[in-house]
Chain A
């Protein structure tokens, strides 16, 4: 059931992509309604996927990359639906749906068998750490989508760049605050479980790099020559670093966080 629902979610998101391509070519209120409906259905389907997972495992679905990716996709979609209410744009829907189809493809290629929690993962810090990470990364994902729109529309005279910039800023502020919590809860947990709050493990190190990129963004936005386009590039880069921290590190740089 779980895998069928995942496939359904994927199909719904592909339909969102198609609908919004049509919308770009021929804007119509009907198509915009379809896009909304499909996005809500996709969220419903993804939440049900998670529900089946939780019932099957009888624990929080925080144990491996597969589970994390699905929650992450849910959260991105949830925040996107929220932002959409004040930023209805086919390009935005398109960017979000494209990103989510890519993420779901990644999820479906990850090992998904149910495993019990190993001793190191049995900690309340796990819950705090993963929950904050999901929301932080979802904020960065949407900042990325908006940053992308900003750069696409930077030369269009009619584009409301100010409002996009303002939204990106708020998302980064929330994401950065939560990422700070992710790193802190991770450090406290590492001190509890390994006896070292920081050990330059690749995952830790890359989360710190992510943190400096967004700190750089927050500074850039207040630096005259970095305002606007350059800082939009920073949020785009930032999310690429997030993706590397999430997936690239686990695959390319093995370390203590080997829970793939």
Chain B
């Protein structure tokens, strides 16, 4: 530990004392723990309902529902970072042995990670997109640099009991920063394009219908369990459910498996929230619902992708590396006495 020299301002000595570090660590631990007691990220109403008027208002006023984003929490982390840097600066001259250099590196690495995290907080950007098989979307409307994303195919791999094993999107990203990328993206294997990463995050079925009751037949794209507004003024809404492996018994209709072995669509027509008609049809067939007639033209998957641009994450990972390096240098001899060091 650094002994306070007489000529140093006393608050610096205090900040850089081992006792302060200890209290800071315990304090951060306790405060961080408090944050997990309050459910995070709900609407303010939620807290007033669940915690009563008074406690609810305190929680919202102190941003305890956004605990780790609250200014006072970030200030605490800021103090930690500042302290680490002061300590590191003071110990710089004393880092003469591998052990002390390791300890120094370890403490500095924590600061590096925090700086990387702050960078991400300021400059990272993410968005969720959904893209149907065969479709192409532009990235710029979602707040990223120009580029086009195309989904060539999407596939779900199942275990024998039809639990999902893997979801895979065959993606290409073109004209992004002057480069083209093509990759199978699946869970645990995102596409990387510089600081942009594209993740497999969800999926679903999307169906094509043709409304042939109109003078000019109209194509309708509707997601499984989705709704489509047919007539605003009369409040007519179409609902659709996809039954990939349609079957029925005397009680209900259902899907035997998640595979499209016997695809059908279940259509429901609502007016002002009331069910007025329903039908189940196969591809190519036509259904009459109320005053409408629909042809089920086809179906495909859509893939839900998470896009994230994050310039800070590399610094964080560098910090991780330094942290481990520092720990190894500090403790190698202790853990493996007699070897190395």
A contact residues vs B (CB 8 Å cutoff): 115-116, 118-120, 122-123, 125, 170, 173-174, 176-177, 180-181, 184, 187-189, 191-198, 200, 202, 205-206, 208-209, 212-213, 215-216, 219-220, 222-223, 226, 249, 253
Q: Which of B25, B28, B36, B189 has the most CB of A within 10 A?
A: B36
Chain A residues with CB under 8 Å of B67's CB are 200
Is B324 an interface residue when CB atoms closer than 8 A count as contact? yes
Chain B residues with CB under 8 Å of A125's CB are 188
Bound together, the chains give a CA A80 to CA B35 distance in angstroms of 35
Q: Nearest chain B CB to A169's CB is how many angstroms away? A: 8
* A226 touching B22, Cβ below 8 Å: yes
Q: Nearest chain B CB to A167's CB is how many angstroms away? A: 12
Interface string of B172-187 (1 = CB under 8 A from A): 0000000000000011
Which of B22, B161, B187, B190 interacts with A216 by CB under 8 Å?
Answer: B22
A-B contact pairs, 29 of them (CB 8 A): A116-B159, A116-B163, A118-B163, A118-B164, A119-B167, A120-B188, A123-B188, A125-B188, A174-B335, A177-B328, A177-B331, A180-B324, A184-B320, A184-B324, A187-B316, A191-B313, A194-B199, A195-B126, A195-B306, A198-B117, A200-B35, A200-B67, A205-B36, A206-B36, A212-B25, A212-B26, A219-B18, A222-B18, A249-B36
Which of A119, A189, A223 interacts with B166 by CB under 8 Å?
Answer: A119
Chain B contact residues (Cβ within 8 angstroms of A): what range? 35 or more
Which of A181, A192, A200, A202 interacts with B188 by CB under 8 Å?
Answer: A192
Chain B residues with CB under 8 Å of A122's CB are 165-166, 187-188
* B334 touching A170, Cβ below 8 Å: yes
Chain B residues with CB under 8 Å of A195's CB are 126, 190, 197, 199, 201, 306, 308
Interface string of B319-331 (1 = CB under 8 A from A): 0100110011001
Q: Nearest chain A CB to B153's CB is how many angstroms away? A: 17
Q: Which 9 A-B pairs have the closest CB atoms?
A: A119-B187, A212-B29, A219-B22, A216-B25, A123-B188, A195-B199, A184-B320, A200-B68, A195-B308
* B19 touching A223, Cβ below 8 Å: yes
Which of A180, A189, A220, A249 interacts with B323 by CB under 8 Å?
Answer: A180
* A177 touching B25, Cβ below 8 Å: no
Chain B residues with CB under 8 Å of A120's CB are 187-188
Nearest CB to that of B331 among chain A residues? A173
Interface string of B31-43 (1 = CB under 8 A from A): 0110110001000
Nearest CB to that of A225 among chain B residues? B19
Nearest CB to that of B32 among chain A residues? A209
Do A205 and B35 form a contact, CB below 8 Å, given A119-B186, A212-B28? yes
Interface string of B114-143 (1 = CB under 8 A from A): 000100000000100000000000000000
Chain B residues with CB under 8 Å of A219's CB are 18, 21-22, 25
* B327 touching A177, Cβ below 8 Å: yes
Q: Nearest chain A CB to B321's CB is how many angstroms away? A: 9
Which of A115, A176, A192, A216 interacts with B29 by CB under 8 Å?
Answer: A216
Q: Nearest chain B CB to A140's CB is how many angstroms away? A: 15
* A187 touching B188, Cβ below 8 Å: no
* A215 touching B36, Cβ below 8 Å: no
Bound together, the chains give a CA A125 to CA B327 distance in angstroms of 21
Q: Nearest chain A CB to B254's CB is how many angstroms away? A: 23
Do A188 and B317 form a contact, CB below 8 Å, given A193-B187, A198-B117, A200-B40? yes
* B324 touching A197, Cβ below 8 Å: no
Is B1 an interface residue when CB atoms closer than 8 A count as contact? yes
Bound together, the chains give a CA A247 to CA B50 distance in angstroms of 25
Q: Which of B28, B35, B320, B324 has the most CB of A within 10 A?
A: B320
Bound together, the chains give a CA A119 to CA B163 distance in angstroms of 10
- With A176-B327, A205-B33 given, name 18 new contacts (CB 8 A): A118-B164, A119-B165, A119-B166, A122-B188, A125-B188, A177-B331, A189-B188, A193-B187, A195-B126, A195-B190, A196-B308, A198-B117, A208-B32, A209-B32, A212-B25, A212-B28, A222-B18, A223-B22
Bound together, the chains give a CA A202 to CA B36 distance in angstroms of 6
Chain B residues with CB under 8 Å of A180's CB are 323-324, 327
Nearest CB to that of B117 among chain A residues? A198
Bound together, the chains give a CA A200 to CA B159 distance in angstroms of 32
* B22 touching A253, Cβ below 8 Å: no
Which of B1, B186, B320 interacts with A187 by CB under 8 Å?
Answer: B320
